[in-house]
């Protein structure tokens, strides 16, 4: 069977076109009691103007009915089959936080959480500030440095998140998540899914009890949920496969990490969407491809905060003229997955996709939302096909066959 990436590489015809991939994390939704999704409710004159000049469709991140994490969701839109390339979230968070990961290391993504009587009552500990969280990380690094022959290190992340790194001999990464994934459930320990990870599971479970003891006097951040155990994998590099010099413009470590893993340059940027767009403008001449990540659409979806999700969409829309003024040859607006406010979680629902380029079948849609995308000329596609469409619309693919 011909390798997908090798096949695409054989058809690449580089040129001077510019491609922008704007990922509004968790953008897909379902209607609330008013009958409207946040995208339908939001006032989005710029997104809607783009829709009138674009092809709209919807993507399936993995397979119909499968709810993806952010890692698989992003791998798909970057052109990597997320079933073939299964990667623990820990390595993405670690790389995005500039944590060095060597051959003897296993890393994981952690959430500080609030527990009471052994029950998880808040998986995100009330979303503390990054500064508050960093103080707890410092405390844990003082109190817990080694378990048996395994070195333990904690690294601060954004808000309630942190990175855990274990260093030692004989550590595997094939483990169940030590996270019940829902509030109101008992704390969950990990289990090894293969014999080469039994040592790691034992160390993690001892560590969880130690964390609980160290943090027992804390009112909110009094426990930790740990998931996405992973060693450092190797993926085909984005620049080699697609012949694009790619820049990643993202604020949160996990998304910097996945971009770094596939070989994009992670560039320094500010905290707001407008600052991210300004970064793209500043680097416009240096790169062929820009991946821009907007996080808060997903965060507010997970919180069930419909009104705030609407406001983030409107914020993005208000600064879109900065991006449009650069006149990218191809502009793709999409998400890595859906995060419906009513569900307060990622979901299996298809993800809106909009592609603005010169040779599109435009004219069917007046707005950018889930329903317009569902009936759009692009149809329902696999997320992994978004990159080949981007290349095609940019004139970067030769004809296949005689």
Give the CATH number for residue 353.
3.40.720.10
Same domain flag for 124 and 212: yes
pLDDT digits (tens, 9 = 90+) for 335-362: 999 999 999 999 999 999 999 999 999 8
pLDDT confidence of residue 100: 87
Q: What's the token pair of residue 188?
A: 């969950």
Within a domain: residue 318? Answer: yes
> Facing residues of 192 across strands?
175
> In this structure, what DSSP letter does residue 67 have?
P
Partnered with residue 106 across adjacent β-strands are 166
Q: Specify the pLDDT at position 87.
A: 84
CATH number of the domain residue 158 falls in: 3.30.70
Supply the pTM of this predicted model: 0.80
Query: pLDDT tens digit string along 7-63?
Result: 999 999 999 999 999 999 999 999 999 999 999 999 999 999 999 999 999 999 999
Nearest to 219 by CA among 339, 284, 125, 287: 125
398 within some domain: no
Rounded to whole angstroms, the Cα distance separating 357 from 377 reads: 14
Q: 185-233: per-residue pLDDT in tens?
A: 999 999 999 999 999 999 999 999 999 999 999 989 999 999 999 998 8
pLDDT bin (cut points 50, 70, 90) of residue 88 is confident
Both 307 and 284 in one domain: the answer is: yes
Pair 251, 207 in one domain:
no
pLDDT at residue 392 in the model: 97
One domain, residues 192 and 48? no
184 found inside a domain: yes
Domain that holds residue 158: 92-230
Structural domains counted in the chain: 2
- Of 230, 253, 270, the last residue of a domain is 230
Which of 199, 230, 261 marks a domain boundary? 230
In a domain, 401, yes or no: no
pLDDT band at 245 (very low <50, low <70, confident <90, very high): very high
* pLDDT at position 250 over 90: yes
Do 369 and 246 belong to one domain? yes
With respect to residue 402, please indicate whether it lies within any of the assigned structural domains.
no
312 close to 296: Cβ distance less than 8 angstroms: yes
Task: Identify which of 74, 16, 25, 78 has the alpha carbon closest to the alpha carbon of residue 239.
Answer: 78
Q: Confidence band (pLDDT; 50, 70, 90) for 322? A: very high
Would you say residue 268 has pLDDT above 90?
Answer: yes
Looking at the fold, whether 384 and 279 belong to one and the same domain comes out as: yes
Whether 216 and 347 map to the same domain: the answer is no
Q: Are the CB atoms for 88 and 398 separated by under 8 Å? A: no
Comparing C-alpha atoms, which of 188, 78, 204, 98 is closest to residue 144?
204
pLDDT at res. 204: 97
- The total of other beta-carbon atoms located within 10 Å of residue 11's CB is 14
Q: Are residues 239 and 226 in the same domain?
A: no
Band the pLDDT of 269: cuts 50, 70, 90.
Answer: very high
Q: Which residue has the tokens 């993690």?
A: 204
Mean pLDDT for 391-397 is 97
Q: 273-308, pLDDT tens digit by residue?
A: 999 999 999 999 999 999 999 999 999 999 999 999
Final residue of a structural domain among 212, 230, 248:
230
Domain assignment present for 400: no
Q: If you average pLDDT over residues 351-375, what whole number do you get?
A: 95
- 1 pLDDT exceeds 80? no
Asked whether residue 248 carries a pLDDT value surpassing 90, the answer given is yes
Kindly tell me the burial class for residue 356, based on how many C-beta atoms sit within 10 Å of its own C-beta (0-12, 13-18, 19 or more): buried
Residue 355 inside a domain? The answer is yes
Same domain, residue pair 99 and 177: yes
Residue 244 sits in the same domain as residue 385: yes
* Domain identity same for 205 and 305: no
Kindly state whether residue 125 falls inside one of the protein's structural domains: yes
Q: What is the mean pLDDT of the chain?
A: 95
* Same domain assignment for residues 220 and 155: yes
């Amino acid at each position: 069977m011909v390798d997908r990436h090798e096949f695409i590489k054989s058809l690449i015809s580089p040129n001077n076109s510019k491609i922008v991939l704007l990922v509004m994390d968790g953008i897909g939704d379902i209607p609330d009691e008013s009958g409207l999704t946040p995208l339908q409710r939001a006032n989005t004159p710029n997104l809607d103007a783009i829709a009138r000049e674009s092809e709209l469709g919807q993507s399936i991140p993995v397979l119909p009915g499968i709810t993806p994490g952010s890692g698989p969701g992003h791998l798909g839109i970057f052109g990597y089959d997320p079933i073939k390339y299964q990667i623990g979230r820990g390595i993405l968070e670690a790389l995005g936080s500039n944590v060095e990961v060597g051959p003897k290391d296993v890393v994981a993504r952690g959430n500080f959480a609030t527990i009471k009587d052994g029950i998880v009552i808040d998986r995100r500990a009330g979303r503390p500030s990054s500064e508050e969280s960093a103080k707890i990380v410092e405390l844990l690094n003082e109190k817990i440095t080694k378990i048996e022959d395994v070195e333990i290190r904690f690294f601060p992340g954004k808000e309630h998140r942190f990175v855990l790194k274990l260093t030692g001999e004989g550590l595997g990464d094939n483990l169940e998540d030590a996270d019940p994934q829902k509030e109101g459930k008992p704390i969950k320990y990990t289990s090894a899914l293969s014999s080469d990870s039994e040592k790691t599971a034992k160390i993690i479970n001892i560590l969880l009890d130690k964390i609980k003891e160290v943090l027992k006097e804390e009112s909110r951040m009094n426990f930790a949920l740990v998931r996405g155990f992973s060693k450092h994998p190797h993926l085909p590099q984005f620049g080699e496969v697609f012949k694009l010099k790619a820049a990643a413009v993202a604020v949160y470590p996990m998304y910097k990490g996945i971009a770094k893993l596939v070989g994009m340059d992670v560039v320094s940027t500010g905290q707001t969407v407008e600052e991210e767009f300004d970064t793209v403008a500043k680097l416009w001449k240096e790169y062929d491809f820009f991946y821009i990540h907007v996080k808060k659409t997903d965060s507010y979806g997970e919180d069930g905060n419909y009104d705030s999700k609407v406001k983030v969409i409107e914020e993005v829309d208000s600064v879109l003229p900065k991006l449009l003024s650069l006149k990218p040859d191809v502009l793709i607006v999409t998400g890595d997955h859906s995060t419906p406010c009513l569900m307060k979680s990622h979901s299996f629902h298809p993800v809106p996709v909009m592609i603005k380029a010169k040779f599109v079948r435009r004219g069917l849609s007046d707005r950018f939302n889930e329903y317009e995308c569902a009936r759009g000329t692009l149809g329902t596609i696999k997320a992994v096909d978004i990159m080949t469409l981007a290349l095609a619309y940019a004139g970067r693919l030769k004809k296949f066959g005689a």
